[in-house]
């Protein structure tokens, strides 16, 4: 078994060098892509972007994020320290604190409203 591996080692090394050399070669006729045209007026939906309100609360900077008028996240930035987030995960109005310094404590799964009655 070891003898077979020793025979394959030079072949694997040569193929690795050949692949890196082939990847470094560029065709001479590469042209930069043109800039994409802007979207037509009326196509860009402003309702898809969150509305952000920034205010001062004492010495803290508070950023409120709303989608369709509903508050879903608050970012609090104290003057000395790391910012933290208050997030309403279920849309019930109860906010839970998430620290950015410690790292993610869970996975934030994106949730979209498909239809409302």
Q: What is the pLDDT of residues 42-57, one digit of tens each?
A: 555 655 778 889 999 9
Q: What is the pLDDT of residues 14-47, one digit of tens each?
A: 676 666 655 565 666 778 878 877 766 655 565 5
Sign of CA dihedral 19, 24, 28, 34: positive
Better-predicted residue by pLDDT, 3 or 69: 69
- The arithmetic mean of pLDDT across residues 56-80, rounded, is 89
pTM, entire model: 0.48
Domain residue spans in the chain? 46-99
Burial annotation 81-97 (CB, 10 A radius, 16+ → b, else e): eeebbbebeeeeeeeee
Q: Phi, psi at residue 10, to the nearest 5°?
A: -65, -35
The DSSP element (H or E) to which 63 belongs, if any, is: strand 60-67
**Average pLDDT along the chain:** 74
The CATH architecture annotation of domain 46-99 reads Single Sheet (2.20)
pLDDT of 102: 47
């Amino acid at each position: 078994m070891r003898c077979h591996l020793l025979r394959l080692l030079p072949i694997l090394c040569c193929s690795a060098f050949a692949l890196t050399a082939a990847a470094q070669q560029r065709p001479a006729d590469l042209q930069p892509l043109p800039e994409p045209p802007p979207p037509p007026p009326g196509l860009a939906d402003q309702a898809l972007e969150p509305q952000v309100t920034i205010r001062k609360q004492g010495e803290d900077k508070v950023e409120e994020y709303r989608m369709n008028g509903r508050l879903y996240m608050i970012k609090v930035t104290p003057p000395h320290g790391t910012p933290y987030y208050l997030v309403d995960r279920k849309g019930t109005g109860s906010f839970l604190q998430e620290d950015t310094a410690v790292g993610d404590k869970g996975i934030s799964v994106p949730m979209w409203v498909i239809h409302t009655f």
